[in-house]
Structure 1
């Protein structure tokens, strides 16, 4: 069976539910986006949210997808940097506990965190301090790693580190890997539109939500699907409650979704990608891949954070077998 290696930020999510979006305005953070913050900004955010209950969970966009793939029995690996601290240990233990082969490099810099602010409607907004993940560098991107893997899953947030982003894609392609890119966040795409459009022909599979697709192409979801699919092997555009659009060559599939009570959308896109890739690796047709992706995303939005408990995983696996 084919395997997948991911690369991106090794983060621990600090999840906080808020009852009023005015807090986001106070903090000058755009709802639904991802903002990179420094230590000073992190301290201000923590102070403002100190009276709200918070919880901690291993996170990072690509890491979430890789963690889920490993839970589903797909051989998986992950490349990143972590600090020599408790948060780093927490992250590393979480990945190893599900069998992920970790290429985690240790540094004296504190491990990265993502303050995940969850609005009453379940929408999540990220204030991310990348910490040790910022030390991810070209020297650790080697063919010795990638030649062992069939798919390379890259998170869109890695675009912030263009030398690593470009070398990852070129090295993976040279080693025969199919490159999978999740666009991650509309504001990241907006800031790097031209760069991403130039790079599209080097990507094999693209995942984007409606806002990210529009930020990339300045088109509607359906128009974006056709535009992206002309450049890559498989294009996937997720359209929220309307499901997802998938295109490979001349084949177009639309997947609907079930009506779900949303608790927290954290990790929904990451889980969709994991479910879709699971189907692809098992040679399922595009419709089945999309259905599995949707089911896994629907499972995760019913809990706080991007990780499900064992009971939910067993329920998902039972449905998968059926």
Structure 2
């Protein structure tokens, strides 16, 4: 697909350094607390604590953040991986950094005295996850901290769509990634993000983005099309490679006026969709960096997305990783 310089094999991700708190509740609970079904809402720590206190299920805690999930997946696949973000101090920050290292990811973390950010993910019986986010220290990252040195040796820089809420930081990341000579991948993250930042997304995709990744809701919010073919066609006009994730229906990849349908890998019912899109990106970007075809890369992405849906949270099981590596 692309001929990467052997000295530029790193897949670097930049985004919010967050810890995920996961609980299982029903739609009535979502309505009671005012969460957006399948979306994301910014809140403070008090709101998260209050919501947890009202929950029936016991919370579980795992590392999180969209770009971080993707980069951890790259590390687990055996790729060279780096995560750039800002974490706080204390136990949560230590937990976050130690988990990056454990998963073969190079931490490139700026530090703050504030609390490390966290996301409360509420998982409903249909396996949808609705998020309440406190950015904490991750919101304190400044454009001046983002230089091309962050992306030294990177073949691909993967940026999570949540950075769109901080336009100056996003632009600093885009410019630094281009100066470092990397391809730029953007995941649109959430339809709520797209609705609020559509005009800005239009601007940066034309100028900076090489790989554009969206699910059905995000693509519809961005392009105005519900029809899959029209949506992927519109996305393909914005980037050299466009991806439309279709959940249980698989995915579609567009490049050079060609469309590749990726069939879903696996047939089990999802337990939790947390991290499904993030891990899809892990497999796909890893495949591209390894020189695999778009179809093969998409199949790896699809398998990663399937396996993470078989567990609670965004960490694929050891058995799942074995299946993926055997496929590769």
Shorter chain as denominator, the TM-score bin is: over 0.9
Cα RMSD (Å): 1.2
Instruction: Work out whether 1:12 is the aligned partner of 2:56.
Output: no
CA drift at 1:203: 0.2
Aligned counterpart, 2:309:
301
Work out the CA distance in 2 between the residues paired with 1:255 and 1:312.
Answer: 19
Write the mapping of 1:52-201 to structure 2, written as runs, cut at 5 A.
52-201=57-206
Work out the CA distance in 2 between the residues paired with 1:114 and 1:39.
Answer: 10
Alignment partner of 1:236 out of 228, 237, 243: 243
CA drift at 1:131: 0.8
CA contact (8 A) 2:155 2:289 kept: no
Work out the CA distance in 1 between the residues paired with 2:249 and 2:95.
Answer: 36
Alignment partner of 1:42 out of 10, 25, 48: 48
CA drift at 1:229: 1.0
What TM-score do you get using the length of structure 1 for normalisation?
Answer: 0.96
More deviation in 139-148 or 68-77? 139-148
Aligned counterpart, 1:254:
261
Work out the CA distance in 2 between the residues paired with 1:107 and 1:57.
Answer: 20
Instruction: Work out whether 1:223 is the aligned partner of 2:230.
Output: yes
Q: Flag structure 1 segments of 5+ consecutive residues without an equivalent.
A: none
CA drift at 1:313: 1.6
Equivalences, count: 318
Instruction: Work out whether 1:315 is the aligned partner of 2:323.
Output: yes
Matched residue of 2:201: which SS?
Answer: helix
Alignment partner of 2:220 out of 191, 195, 214: 214
More deviation in 308-317 or 128-137? 308-317
CA drift at 1:141: 0.5
Matched residue of 1:192: which SS?
Answer: helix
Aligned counterpart, 2:276:
268
Work out the CA distance in 2 between the residues paired with 1:252 and 1:24.
Answer: 38
Alignment partner of 1:204 out of 207, 210, 213: 210
Matched residue of 1:199: which SS?
Answer: helix
CA drift at 1:269: 0.2
Work out the CA distance in 2 between the residues paired with 1:215 and 1:314.
Answer: 36
Aligned counterpart, 2:3:
none
Matched residue of 2:204: which SS?
Answer: helix
Deviations 1:184-224 (A, max 9, x none): 00001011111101111210001100000011111133212
CA drift at 1:39: 2.6
Q: Flag structure 2 segments of 5+ consecutive residues without an equivalent.
A: 1-5
CA drift at 1:46: 2.0
Work out the CA distance in 2 between the residues paired with 1:104 and 1:144.
Answer: 13
Alignment partner of 1:286 out of 294, 305, 325: 294
CA contact (8 A) 2:191 2:218 kept: yes
Work out the CA distance in 2 between the residues paired with 1:309 and 1:230.
Answer: 37
Matched residue of 1:22: which SS?
Answer: helix
Work out the CA distance in 1 between the residues paired with 2:27 and 2:172.
Answer: 39
Deviations 1:2-55 (A, max 9, x none): 22111001111111111x210100111111001111133223312222x31211
Work out the CA distance in 1 between the residues paired with 2:209 and 2:13.
Answer: 14
Aligned counterpart, 1:29:
35
